[in-house]
């Protein structure tokens, strides 16, 4: 008697002949065909749980672009006590980056491991989160789609067009002491010209036992003239970084003895030596 294997409906199995002239054929998945009932079920689920739609990176990108396209430049809020030219350049640079997928997808690389920490996964809805230098709402949408309560999320940047983002300086944050359970500095700390002061502000507004997540891009080419030429060639404002970090140990050193435990640490794979790459770390404070 022959039995039917339901997996045969999804994967076509091809015999493999181990000869130098032949290679294994990849398994083929049939195209997904959705019935009207399937589409109705999906639509009903999204109506009931619309946040699930934000789990799709492309959707977050579309929403972010759409909202920023409606921004009135005159209504953008600006951080006080910061050079207006610096803010102007920051606005132009971030607006020009909206077409880059990395702007929208990179924050998830840091948020994903953060959400895998058991304590955070269990307490996520009630935890207060600060993300420093979010650029746009894309990073905030990623946090919401991950399970954080939108009412407990704040962004801080030199400019703001969003009710979720406060205009301010990371060296003088407009928050009381011990305000946040999680603080994210995603690819922003390198723009600080006083990293120690920025770290002190993080420690001030963090609650005891808070989790800190930091990401930085390491660029082997450090000549400012090169980046100025690159900015002109790509029609983007030139932004001078304040610090060239090379290793996560340099990030951790800024917080010294305040660290209770390093939970996640990623440095350059040997394959990326001499190239541009990202370093990331997540740690818990005492």
User: Domain boundaries in the chain?
Assistant: 40-285
What is the pLDDT at residue 285?
A: 98
End-to-end CA distance of the chain: 66
- Structure pTM? 0.80
CB-count exposure of residue 176 (10 Å: 0-12, 13-18, 19+): exposed
The answer to whether 105 and 173 have CB atoms below 8 angstroms apart is no
Q: Which fold has domain 40-285?
A: Rossmann fold (3.40.50)
What is the pLDDT at residue 15?
A: 45
What string of pLDDT tens digits covers the 286 residues of the chain?
444 444 444 334 344 445 555 666 667 777 888 899 998 998 999 899 989 999 988 889 888 888 888 888 888 999 998 888 888 888 877 777 666 666 667 889 999 999 999 999 999 999 999 999 998 888 999 999 999 999 999 999 999 989 999 999 999 999 999 999 999 999 999 888 899 999 999 999 999 999 999 999 887 655 555 555 645 665 655 555 556 788 999 999 999 999 999 999 999 888 877 778 889 999 999 9
From residue 221, give the alpha-carbon distance in Å to each of 153, 224, 234. Answer: 35, 9, 17
């Amino acid at each position: 008697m022959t039995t039917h294997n339901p997996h045969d409906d999804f994967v076509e199995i091809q015999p493999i002949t181990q000869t130098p002239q032949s290679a294994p054929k990849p398994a083929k998945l049939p195209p997904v065909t959705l019935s009207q009932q399937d589409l109705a079920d999906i639509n009903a689920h999204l109506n009931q749980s619309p946040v699930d739609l934000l789990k799709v990176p492309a959707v977050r990108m579309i929403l972010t672009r759409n909202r920023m396209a409606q921004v009135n430049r005159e209504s953008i809020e600006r951080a006080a006590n910061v050079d207006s030219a610096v803010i102007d350049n920051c606005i132009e640079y971030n607006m020009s980056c909206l077409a880059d997928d990395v702007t929208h997808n990179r924050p998830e690389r840091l948020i994903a491991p953060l959400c895998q920490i058991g304590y955070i996964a269990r307490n996520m809805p009630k935890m207060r989160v600060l993300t420093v230098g979010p650029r746009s709402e894309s990073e905030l949408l990623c946090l919401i789609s991950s399970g954080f309560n939108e009412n407990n999320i704040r962004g801080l940047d030199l400019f703001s067009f969003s009710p979720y983002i406060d205009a301010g300086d990371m060296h003088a944050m407009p928050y009381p002491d011990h305000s946040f359970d999680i603080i994210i500095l995603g690819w922003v700390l390198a723009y600080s010209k006083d990293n120690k002061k920025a770290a002190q502000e993080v420690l001030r507004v963090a609650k005891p036992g808070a989790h800190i997540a930091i990401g930085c891009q390491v660029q082997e080419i450090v000549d400012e003239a090169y980046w100025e030429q690159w900015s002109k060639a790509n029609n983007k404002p030139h932004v001078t970084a304040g610090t060239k970090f090379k290793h996560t140990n340099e990030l951790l050193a800024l917080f010294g003895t305040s660290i209770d435990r390093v939970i996640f640490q990623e440095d350059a794979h040997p394959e990326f030596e001499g190239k541009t790459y990202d370093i990331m770390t997540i740690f818990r404070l005492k």
